[in-house]
Amino acid sequence: MIDLDAINSDIGLTFDDNQGTPWTDADIERLALMYFSMPRPPNSVMAERMGRTVGALQTVISRVGMARPGDKLRACLGVGCQGQRKFFSAGVNNRICGRCERDPVMGCAA
């Protein structure tokens, strides 16, 4: 039996933005708190608070599939990611990210 949560914490997160600075889990959770708050702050405000560019912010929001309030950041278990990337999943049964669903071969490796 493989302990996926232990593996995930070992791997950590490396979402590179245009500035080459990795996004940590904590960064993304912090962004999600703002993104899912009502009313949602403008991207420019969230970017400033995160110390990122608006472009980098939009890239990460899109990449992790941040869409629905209540979604949780979970590791993708798809062929392309193999637990090495996280995305916003609707529940414990939703463990394949959009990229892996669309293209099981390339997945998030692209």
Where does this chain bind Zn ion (CB under 5 A)? 76, 78, 80-81, 97, 100, 107-108
Question: Could you tell me the smallest distance in angstroms from the CB atom of residue 46 to Zn ion?
Answer: 24
Amino acid found at 104: P
Q: How far apart are the first and last CA of the chain?
A: 29
Question: Could you tell me the smallest distance in angstroms from the CB atom of residue 40 to Zn ion?
Answer: 25
The residue (of 78 and 89) whose beta carbon lies closer to Zn ion is 78
β-pairing, 72-75 vs 86-89, is antiparallel
Question: Could you tell me the smallest distance in angstroms from the CB atom of residue 80 to Zn ion?
Answer: 5
> How many other CB atoms sit within 10 Å of the CB of residue 52?
21
